[in-house]
């Protein structure tokens, strides 16, 4: 039986949306604010909804040991990812550099940031949180597999 | 929880993959249960016992508390 997770095509749509979104950031900044916010919201909702759909399809193919591993990975990974995100957003030279780049991307000449800059910054912060939680989940999953896979 | 899955498999000449197929779980899951890394739910424990055509208490043994 071919599982959902076996098909890379299932992961293509959200990746395409994210790549297109970031590639068109400057174009989005030039649009009317309402249009920008609507497109950003639509892209975010699509990515989250697609992720839930794929996760639900994958869960149907899992047995109870795999489900227990998934619960372990999600709870521990989400907590660890949130913690790492807070650490990464502490005021450091790297965060200053990212902030400068963000202002340059959303304003044409790097002048004072406006509402759109703050909004895109928040979206990027949420994206960072989700990426860190995903990475945390992968690490926690590896910990679970190591714990459960060894011999007694 | 202790179990006799490894011995029972050996008696029948079954691999972990073969038992996994009979009880409809992954081979890794059978490995985890067999090695005592994961305590199965009651329905899964019954399915494993059924695969061996034994009673559940003949497959899974309670551990004595100190």
List Cα–Cα distances, B32 to A71, A96, B44, in angstroms: 16, 47, 13
Say if the Cβ atoms of A148 and B38 lie within 8 Å.
yes
pLDDT digits (tens, 9 = 90+) for A35-76: 888 888 898 899 889 988 888 888 888 899 999 998 999 899
List Cα–Cα distances, A29 to A42, A112, A121, A122, B18, in angstroms: 16, 14, 12, 15, 58
| CA–CA min distance A128, chain B (Å) | 33
Q: Which CATH class is domain B2-57?
A: mainly alpha
Residues in contact with B6: Cβ distance below 8 Å, sequence separation at least 6, in sequence order:
B34
Say if the Cβ atoms of A148 and B37 lie within 8 Å.
yes
pLDDT digits (tens, 9 = 90+) for A50-60: 988 888 888 88
Q: Would you list the domain boundaries of chain B?
A: 2-57
Gyration radius (Cα) of chain A, Å: 19
Taking residue A54's Cβ as centre, other Cβ atoms within 10 Å add up to 17
| CA–CA min distance B51, chain A (Å) | 17
Mean residue pLDDT across chain A: 83
Q: Which of B24, B29, B36 sits opposite A65 (nearest CB)?
A: B29
Say if the Cβ atoms of B38 and A68 lie within 8 Å.
yes
How far apart, in whole angstroms, are the C-alpha atoms of residue A90 and residue A96? Answer: 10
For the segment A15-40, the average pLDDT, to the nearest whole number, is 85
Is B47 touching A (CB cutoff 8 A)? no
Contact between A54 and A4 under an 8 Å Cβ cutoff? The reply is yes
Please give the ipTM for the structure prediction: 0.81
The per-residue pLDDT for B56 is 95
Packed helices A33-60 and A12-23: angle between N→C axes, nearest 10 degrees = 160
**pTM of structure:** 0.64
Cβ contacts of A68 on chain B, cutoff 8 Å: 38
How far apart, in whole angstroms, are the C-alpha atoms of residue A15 and residue A12? Answer: 5
How far apart, in whole angstroms, are the C-alpha atoms of residue A40 and residue A50? Answer: 15
Residues in contact with A3: Cβ distance below 8 Å, sequence separation at least 6, in sequence order:
A58, A61
| CA–CA min distance B57, chain A (Å) | 21
The per-residue pLDDT for B66 is 67
Indicate whether A83 pLDDT > 90: yes
* Residue B36 Ramachandran class (φ > 0 left, ψ -120 to 50 alpha, else beta): left
How far apart, in whole angstroms, are the C-alpha atoms of residue B48 and residue A35? Answer: 58
């Amino acid at each position: 039986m071919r599982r959902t997770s076996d098909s890379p095509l299932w992961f293509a749509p959200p990746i395409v949306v994210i790549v297109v979104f970031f590639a068109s950031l400057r174009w989005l900044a030039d649009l009317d604010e309402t249009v920008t916010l609507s497109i950003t919201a639509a892209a975010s909702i699509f990515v989250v909804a697609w992720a839930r759909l794929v996760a639900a399809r994958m869960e149907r193919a899992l047995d109870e040991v795999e489900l227990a591993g998934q619960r372990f990975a999600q709870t521990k990974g989400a907590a660890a990812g949130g913690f790492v995100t807070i650490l990464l957003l502490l005021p450091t030279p790297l965060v200053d550099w990212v902030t400068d780049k963000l202002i340059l991307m959303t304003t044409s000449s790097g002048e004072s940031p406006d509402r759109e800059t703050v909004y895109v910054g928040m979206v990027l912060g949420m994206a960072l949180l989700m990426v860190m939680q995903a990475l945390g989940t992968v690490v926690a999953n590896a910990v679970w597999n190591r714990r459960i896979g060894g011999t007694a | 929880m202790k179990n006799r899955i490894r011995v029972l498999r050996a008696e029948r000449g079954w691999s972990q993959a073969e038992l996994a197929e009979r009880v409809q779980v992954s081979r890794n899951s059978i490995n985890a249960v067999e090695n005592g890394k994961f305590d199965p739910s009651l329905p899964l424990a019954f399915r494993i016992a059924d695969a061996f055509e034994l009673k559940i208490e003949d497959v899974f043994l309670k551990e004595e508390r100190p």
